[in-house]
Structures are given as structure tokens and as C-alpha cells.
Amino acid sequence: MAKEMMLSGCAAAAQAAKLAQVEVICSYPIRPYTAIMMELAKMVANGELDAEFVHGEGEHAQLSVVLGAAAAGARALTGSSGVGVTYAFETYSPIAGGRIPLQMMIADRALDPPGDFGSEHTDAMSCRDQGWIMGWAENPQEAFDNCLINYRVGEDHRVLLPQFVCQDGYFVSHIPGKVVIPDQSQVDEFLPPYALPHPLDPKHPVSHGPQIRPDQGTVMNLQRAQAMLDTPAVIKEVIDDYNRIFGRNLSPFVEEYMTDDAEIAFFIMGAHTMTARHAVKHLRSQGVKIGLVKLRFVRPWPTQEVAEVLSKFKAVGVVETSTSYGGAARGGNLLHEVRASLYELPQRPLTTSFMAGLGGEMVPLKDFYYMADILSKAVKDGKTKKTVYWVGFEAED
Amino acid sequence: MTVAVRTQNLPPIKLIRNVPKEEYYVPGHRTCAGCGPALQYKLVAKAAGPNTIFVGPTGCMYVANASYLCTPYAVPWMHSQITNGGAVASGIEAAYRVLLRKGKREGELPNIIVMAGDGGSTDIGLQAMSAMMYRGHDALFICYDNESYANTGIQTSPTTPYGSNTTFTPPGSAIPEGKKLFPKDPPQLVIGGHPAVKYVATASVAYPVDLINKVRKALNVQGPTFMHIHAPCPKGWKFDAAKTVEIARLAIETGMWNMYEWENGEYKYQFRPKRYKPVREYVKLQGRFAHLSEAHIAKLQAFVDAKLKAPGIPVEVPAPPPRAQA
């Protein structure tokens, strides 16, 4: 029988990994994701989970160990946070380019300098263009869901891509929430055993990763790009199955809240969605026509879905919890993707970005009211004054 | 439940004619004429046989072997970054342990061999190599030593000998000897701090039977093992491509390279000449040492003499000069 538990995001992710029956786990300590590994270490020590638990000598090694394991034919899991995520950067392209569908759980942490324990999406977002599937959980339940969903999507032979399964540090990783833990039989129905097409096996010799000529490079890039292009259709199928088997109601790419007749909207992902939802509810009670759109996958970016849903509004505020210093829109990276998605539309909403929650700061309700106010003014004026607002640090407005 | 062990007992061979005829590193690659690393690769693959997985960190034995989507391996092979051969091998071994335990693979744990260059073993790959040894993964880590970053155009590595002319240590009026530093000692790095390791050996392309037997011994051991294989590089060391084996033999005869096994704390030495030839005889055949003065050669000789008092034991070398003089 499925059971309900109060779990932190890290504990929820570990429960999902256990039900996915991961076979090789590689750890290295860095806060806050460490709690996932501490949970898994206990499960392995207690005999609840039959897996090899390897103590990596750093994040680069973590990714390298799980690469070897997944290439040999085992379902593999690792994870990290902050500068740990960027320390492993060399390995991301070889893993995705080798089409090895392992999973890396990230509990976000701000990058140095200075040392900051707070959550910020910049760690994972800096790695978004390597050919990994990537998305954020809003709460521990989604941290659980996304582990299983991502394994199933990534391991599908039409996809074969690794997955960054992200949750905000502390806000999700360390605050308990209600999580429904399904039966093993349900998970087994949803997630078939790991089956790499060409694992390293002396009975069937294969070579992984020989060098290529420059003219072969484009072909391989194109294949990786095509796999990403083919992924949305698989995500839809997988979410349908997930909803059916586990009795859930998840949207594949974007989740809407109070968007009917909304004129302005927040576009957001991850933990702060929860606060934003409360802000929207309150503003609605005050008569503000506001809604919210939550993004579930950054890669593959759901261009069409984003364009369709955002075209309904007059102004959209993109809430960024990551930086893109010197970028085209002077804000974070999400605004770039949002604007690119909207470009082909005959009538585009006004867009601006709100830098909020950087360094792991809270984004309280009043900050969302401030953002809503700027969006309402933009609608009234028919234009946005700026492409980026550093919330809490703006002299005017 | 299958426990992931290798019960294999790969037998030693006596004579060169007993070398297995089967090739697992097959012709068709594009290594240079007289390539020492390619020669040792062929012998290692023969010694290990078909139940083997190679991990190939970036280096000559990646770039010159695995070209244009083709590879010369008749057994599974996987590229790793130059940084992480030991870690990728650790993952493969861990996967086999759990897959065998769960009945998802049949048979025995395959021979897992990392074939890393000196940079991929002792420089940028040192951390991953050391961690594989520390954790006790059942794999053989081979450092094929051509004493430079050869694939990138002969740059100095931690095992490049004192006095070498490399493209990063060119001799000039301010630095007449080229490379000023004395090399790292790879087997000692392993022996010195990795209690899980039970077998370490050095070998040379000059003595193929000895090389094959050491590889087999290493693969018969349960747990991590390390081999340091001398593999002369005609291009990088600037000698006639027909003389690879001669140069390798001279390295041993002059004491520039020492042949030994370290097994459970005991040293056994092989091919120790009664009287060592002067290093000058080794040096004079190689263009990389052509610029050395008598004083430089004497310094190299002194280093070798000190080393030969107890091969395998680290020797004191002159401290690097202060930065102002370097």
C-alpha cells in the first residue's frame, strides 16, 4: 500500500532512488545535497537497498564513477551542490555525448565567492547546455516524483540522456513536506529495469568514445540535439503513465495557477513557486488579475508550451534565481529563453525579469507583491521600464 | 548469489614463443613507427585475454588508437578523460559487483585495466588513480611511461627525466639543461600510501615475457594492482624508430629504469646487471639529451647512483632551485 510520510526533499529523493533500485551510488560530501547520500548510505548499510555505495574522491570522480557504472550496465546515481556541481563540469559533455542515462540529483547552492550555504539555481543552470535533461522540484513530493520520471525518460531508448534532477537547497532539500510513497510494485510497473543498448561486456565487445574527425563531430552533435528534440514527446508519455499508475495529476512542462482571465503572471520554477502561489491567491482576493506559470523542465525547454501559455497575458514577470552576468537581458537566463520562445508570436506579452532569492535569500510575499505592482504598471504604461529588477535593491518603482 | 571474484589463474609463460597468438589489440591503428606504448599495449592485451575491459584515458594510446570512430580493441574499451581513468574503472568494477550479485551478468568479474599515460597516472590523473587504489577496486592500473605528454607535442610530465629537452623545457642560455626537476616515482606513490594494494610491478617493452607474466600476476590478484611500464617514444625522445627495444634495454642496463616486483611488502628485482653501464651510453643515443653538458650528465649519473643503492626506494634529489633562478 502507498503510504504518506513527512520527508525533506533530500529524504524524499533518497526514497525514490531506493524504489528505483539504483545499483551504483557515488557520494562526496557538500551541503545541502549531502542528506540524500546520508539517507542512501543508511539504506545500504541496513540492507534495505542492494547497491554499491562508492565514496568518490570529489565531484569529478563521482560523475566519473557513475559514468563507468552506467556504461557497464548498472543504474547509477550521484549528486552534488554548488561548487561541487561546477567542479565536475568536464564530465558532463562526455556523459551526455556518450548517451549514458545516469542521474545526478542537485540540491542547489550558491557558487563561491564568498562561501554561501544558501540556495541559488546558478550551479545547475551553468551546466544546462551539455545535453542533460534538467528540471526543478517545488517541494519534496516533486523531488520524489522527478527522480522516477527522469530515470524513465532518460533511459528510454529514444532519449538516452543523463538527467540533472534539481531541488532548491534548504527550501526543498531540508524542509519536510507531505510525500506519498508508492508501492514497489507500482514503481516496477512504471520503471523498467535499466537496459543500456551497448554496455561494456566482454561477451559483446564494444568501444565507447573513440576519437572522431571534425566532420564527424557535427553528426554526433546533431544526434545529441535530436535526442533532446525527441524528449518532449517521451516526457508526455511518461507523465501520462506516472499520473495513471500513481493517481497523480502532473503537467508535463508547465503548470498553471489562476491563469484564467489573468492579465499578468509570474513565470517561475522551484521552491519559491509556493510563496508565489500564496501571493497570487492574495492578490486575486484584492482584485488583481494575476496568475502563475510554473516551469517543470528547463531542458528540453518547452518552447511551444511556454509560448502558448504566456501569450495569454499582457505582462509576464520571470522570477530568476540564477545569474547570467552581462547577458542580453542583463538579468538571469530564464528571460532569454522566455523571450526566444515568444519571438515568433504576432502579439507578445511584455516581459521583464526579477532577480530574487539570489544567495539563498528568502523571497517573501511582499517581494511578490512588489513584482506584481511593477507588472501592473507595465500593463498600464504599455511598456516595461527595465528588463531586470534586482528585487529589494531598486531605488525606484 | 554470485560473488564478484575472479578465480582465473592466468598461467605464466616461459619463452617468447609461448606468447599467445591471439590479438586483442589488433593492427590498424596509427601509432608512430617504433612506438613503445603500442608495443606494450599489444603485450598487455595478449596477457589479459578476452575477459577484459580496458579504460583508456586521453593520451597517445587514446588519440593514436581510437581514431575516426575506429578502435583496435577486440575487447570492450571505454575512453575516459585524462583526469579520471581510475574513477571510471572504479565505476565499472562496482557495476559488475552488483550486476553479478543480482544475477544480471553471468560469469566472473572481468579483468578491468586502466591504460593511462604518465600524465593520466601521476599528474592530472593522480587523484583518481589513488582513490581507486585506496578503495580497493579489483582493477589493474597501468602507467605506460613514455616520459612526456607526447600526444600534445612532447611537453614535460612528472616522469620526464632531468635534463630532457621538451617543448615546455627547451634548453636555452638561461636554462641550459632544459628540464631542471627530477621525476616522480610512480610505483612508490602507490606503494607508499595505499594499504589495499598487494601487488605493484615495473616492466619494460625490452622484456616481453617478464611483462606478460607480471600483467598476469597482477590480474590474478584480488584487489587493486599497479604496473609502471617503460615505453620509449622515438618521436619524443628523438631516437631511431628501429631502436625502441635497444633503448628500453639500455635504460635498464644503465639503471635509468629499474625492474622489480613489490608483493605484500617484499621487493624482488629482475634484470639487475652486475655492473651498470654509465648513463652517458643511454643519453648519447637520444636527441632529447643532446644539449647536456658533462656537468649535467654527472648530475643525472649521481641521481641514478643514489637510486641504485636500493631500487624502488625514493632517493633524495637536489631541491628545486629558488624561483628567482628558475
Question: CA triplet B180, B165, B184: central angle to 5 degrees?
Answer: 50
Say if residue B197 is exposed, middle or buried (CB neighbours under 10 Å; 0-12, 13-18, 19+).
Answer: buried
Q: CA-based diameter of chain A, in Å?
A: 70
Least CB–CB distance from B81: residue in A91, A206, A210: A91
Reported as a single tens digit per residue, the pLDDT across A28-70 is: 999 999 999 999 999 999 999 999 999 999 999 999 999 999 9
ipTM: 0.96
- Calculate the average pLDDT of chain B: 94
Looking at the DSSP bridge assignments, the partners of residue A297 are none
Residues within 8 A of A (CB atoms), B 162-201 only? none
Rg (CA), chain A: 21
CATH classification of B16-308, choosing from 3.40.50.740, 3.40.50.800, 3.40.50.970, 3.20.20.140?
3.40.50.970
For residues A48 and A21, the answer to whether their CB atoms sit within 8 Å is no
Question: Mean pLDDT over residues B239-261, rounded?
Answer: 97
Which residues pair with residue A163 across a beta bridge? A103, A133
Task: Work out the average pLDDT over B148-159.
Answer: 97
Q: Each residue of A74-123: pLDDT tens digit? A: 999 999 999 999 999 999 999 999 999 999 999 999 999 988 999 999 99
Q: Do B96 and A23 touch (CB under 8 A)?
A: no
Q: What rounded mean pLDDT belongs to chain A?
A: 97
* Contacts of A291 by beta carbon, 8 Å cutoff, 6+ apart: A256, A257, A258, A259, A260, A262, A264, A265, A266, A280, A313
H helices of chain A, in order, are 9-19, 34-45, 59-72, 82-87, 89-97, 122-125, 140-155, 184-190, 214-246, 273-285, 303-310, 333-342, 365-381
Of A28-42, A177-191, B124-138, B263-277, which gets the smallest average pLDDT? B263-277
B101 contacts in A (CB within 8 Å)? 50
Give the whole-number percent of chain A exceeding pLDDT 70: 99
Closest chain B CA to residue A212:
B68
pLDDT of residue B309: 82
- Predicted local distance difference test score (pLDDT) of residue A111: 96
Q: Which residues of A touch B87 (CB under 8 A)?
A: 56-57, 60-61, 64-65, 68
Cα separation values, B230 from A155, B43, B200, B245, Å: 42, 13, 14, 10
DSSP-assigned letters across all residues of B108-168: -PPEEEEEE-HHHHHSTTHHHHHHHHHHT-S-EEEEEE-SSBTTTTSB--TTSPTT--BTT
Minimal-distance CA residue of chain B relative to A91? B81
Region of A58 (left: φ > 0; alpha: ψ -120 to 50; beta: rest) is left
Pairwise CA distance, residues A78 & A54, whole Å: 10
Mean pLDDT of all residues in A314-343: 95
Cell numbers for B303, please give them.
Answer: 641521481
Cis ω on the peptide bond leading into residue A300 (within 30° of 0)? yes
Q: What is the pTM (predicted TM-score) of this model? A: 0.96
> With contacts defined as CB-CB under 8 Å, which chain A residues touch B95?
23-24, 52, 68-70, 72-74, 76
Q: Is B288 left (phi over 0), alpha (psi -120 to 50) or beta?
A: alpha
Reported confidence tier of residue B141, pLDDT bands at 50, 70, 90: very high
- Closest-CA residue of B relative to A62 is B87
Q: How far is CA B158 from the centre of its chain?
A: 13
Measuring CA to CA, which residue among A188, A200, A194, A163 is closest to residue A75?
A: A194
pLDDT for the residue A335: 96
Check pLDDT > 60 for residue B325. no
SS3 category, A36? helix
Q: Which of B90, B108, B114 to mutate to test the interface with A (most CBs of A within 10 A)?
A: B90
A208 reaches B (C-beta below 8 A): yes
SS3 A194: coil
Whole-number pLDDT of residue A213 = 87
Domain ranges of chain B: 16-308
pLDDT at residue A397 tops 70: no
Instruction: Give kind and range of the element (H or E) at residue B101.
Output: helix B85-101
In this prediction, what percent of chain A has a pLDDT beyond 90? 96
Say yes or no for a CB contact (<8 Å) between A74 and B95.
yes
Per-residue confidence band for B1, with pLDDT thresholds at 50, 70 and 90: low
* Core vs surface per residue A38-64: b (16+ CB within 10 A) or e: ebbbebbeeeebebbbbbbbbbbbbbb
B98 vs A52, A58, A207: nearest CB: A52
B317 band by pLDDT with thresholds 50, 70 and 90: low
Q: What is the pLDDT of residue B315?
A: 59
Helix (H) or strand (E) segment spanning residue B39: helix B36-48
- Amino acid present at B322: P
Q: Which of residues 83-142 of A touch B (CB under 8 A)?
A: 90-91, 94
Chain A interface includes B53 (CB < 8 A): yes
Average pLDDT in the A214-223 region? 92
**Given a cut of 90, is residue B68 above it in pLDDT?**
no
Across the range A150-157, mean pLDDT stands at 98
Whether residue A164 is predicted with pLDDT greater than 70 in this model: the reply is yes
Q: For the residues A340-346, what does the mean pLDDT come to?
A: 97
Residue A365 pLDDT exceeds 90: yes
Residue B322 has pLDDT above 80, yes or no: no
Name which of A73, A94, A206 is nearest B95 (Cβ-Cβ): A73
Q: How many CB pairs under 8 A join A and B?
A: 156
Q: Could you give the domains of chain A?
A: 3-246 (3.40.50.970), 254-390 (3.40.50.920)
In percent, how much of chain B has pLDDT > 90?
87
| pLDDT tens, position by position, A228-278 | 999 999 999 999 999 999 999 999 999 999 999 999 999 999 999 999 999
Please report how many Cα atoms fall inside a 13 Å half-sphere around the Cα of residue A90, on the Cβ side: 14
pLDDT band at residue B308 under the 50/70/90 scheme: confident
Q: What is the pLDDT of residue B324?
A: 47
